[in-house]
Amino acid sequence: MKDLPVELVGVVVENISSTSDLLSLRSVNSTCHHLVTPHVFRKIHIHNSVESAQNCRSILASTLATHVREVVYDQRDHARFCLLPAGAQGVCDELEIADLEDVLTETFCSLPGFKSLESIVVNFWPSFRSQSGSEIHEHPFWFTNRQIAVLHAVHHAIKSSPIRSLTLNNVILMSSTCYDFVSSVTNSPLHHFSMSVIANSELGAWSGSKSLNGSVSSLLPPSNANLKSLVLRSPQGLYHSLNTQLRSSHYPALETLVLENIVFDPTPSADGIEEFVVRHKASLRRLELRSCSSYVPSTTTPIRRWSTIWKRFEEELVSLTELVVGDAHQGYALLDGTRGYVPHPSLPVTPAELAQEDGELYSQFSDRVNLRSVLA
């Protein structure tokens, strides 16, 4: 290995994805140590345990801190979120939970010590690794407390950190008063913000309410001219809040907007999703909608047809050059007191006729966007 050109060793390093392999290569000789160190410490993972958070603090206090560009909290590949799994007792040591909260708060508040930090990814799962090594499932009450504590610490770090990207996954949206700390981040440096939230159906299994869900606006960055990309998702089912409150959210530089399983309000309002999209018509270049629905308050309420929404978007979003819509049709959601948000059972026309009308207006809108893209 010592006779290989440095450039070739560098290529080898760039093509190794396994952290354990990189650490092994790093120990071969001084050349490998020098080349591998920036690569292996570019991204660091904090698992949901006291020990892992303390390890991150150790890196912060070392010369390795200069290499860190991204911090990822509690990544669990291929895991599926479940707030109340079958058979879970939801019982755990409150003192151990408090210790975990304290060390996570200290760790995230310290992230500005990574002077080259660009991105933070925060994943919330309702379990943690105890100091004895056991996987402990948390009661939703403790889980939401920890979530708010971590979010508060992250926003504290943002105030004095150079990060440009923040991703929050598996967020349970609480009352907006729980997130007063968000407004303290004036002139947010974020260029990209992504948030996936817990669906109404999952939250309802705990709260007993089929309609209860907080507003996504509570955690959106305050209005600023830096944000260019915004992603709002509810991967495991429909998300809808009766108090969307998007009136004050405006990002003049926003170019990309992604919405997945988000329910649009029955009538356009300054606080609603539809109006939020149109509000950014001057800057928006890419719009992605996947499995969204139009909310219908009751079986007697007139529906806001997707054909109407597509037509409005075609007329208003004149700067759009890319439109991505998932394979599933955008639907119509009715709030059922027992089952939660369900497909509307008694539409004014047959589902086939409605789908045809919606499809025609979508195709017209899509063709206009595609033509604009070709001519750009």
Q: Which of 26-35, 221-230, 355-364 has the lowest mean pLDDT?
A: 26-35
Residues 6+ apart with CB under 8 A from 3: none
Kindly report, residue by residue over 118-150, the tens digit of the pLDDT: 999 999 999 888 888 888 888 888 899 999 999
Mean pLDDT in residue range 77-101: 77
Q: Which tokens in the block code for residue 316?
A: 């208003």
343 or 25: which leads in pLDDT? 343
Whether 219 contacts 246, CB under 8 Å: no
Domain count, the chain: 2
pLDDT at 278 over 50: yes
Q: Which tokens in the block code for residue 186?
A: 């004036």
pLDDT at 90 over 50: no
Q: What is the DSSP letter of 234?
A: -
pLDDT given at position 298? 80
pLDDT given at position 139? 84
Residues 6+ apart with CB under 8 A from 177: none
pLDDT given at position 187? 85
Judge if 125 and 260 occupy the same domain: yes
Task: Find where tokens 């080349």 sit.
Answer: 35
Judge if 155 and 62 occupy the same domain: yes
pLDDT given at position 326? 79
Burial annotation 212-251 (CB, 10 A radius, 16+ → b, else e): ebbbbbbbbbbebebbbbbbbbbbbbbbbbeebbbeebeb
Judge if 258 and 337 occupy the same domain: yes
DSSP-H helix ranges across 239-290? 273-279
pLDDT at 339 over 80: no
Mean pLDDT in residue range 240-253: 90
Q: Where in the sequence is the domain holding 3, given as residue range(s)?
A: 1-40
Judge if 32 and 87 occupy the same domain: no
pLDDT given at position 206? 75
Judge if 117 and 33 occupy the same domain: no
pLDDT at 113 over 90: yes
205 or 150: which leads in pLDDT? 150
Judge if 167 and 18 occupy the same domain: no
Judge if 29 and 70 occupy the same domain: no
Average pLDDT, the chain: 87
Judge if 132 and 99 occupy the same domain: yes
pLDDT at 84 over 90: no
Judge if 35 and 52 occupy the same domain: no
Judge if 197 and 323 occupy the same domain: yes
pLDDT at 203 over 90: no
Termini Cα distance of the chain: 50
Judge if 152 and 8 occupy the same domain: no
pLDDT at 31 over 80: no
Judge if 14 and 125 occupy the same domain: no
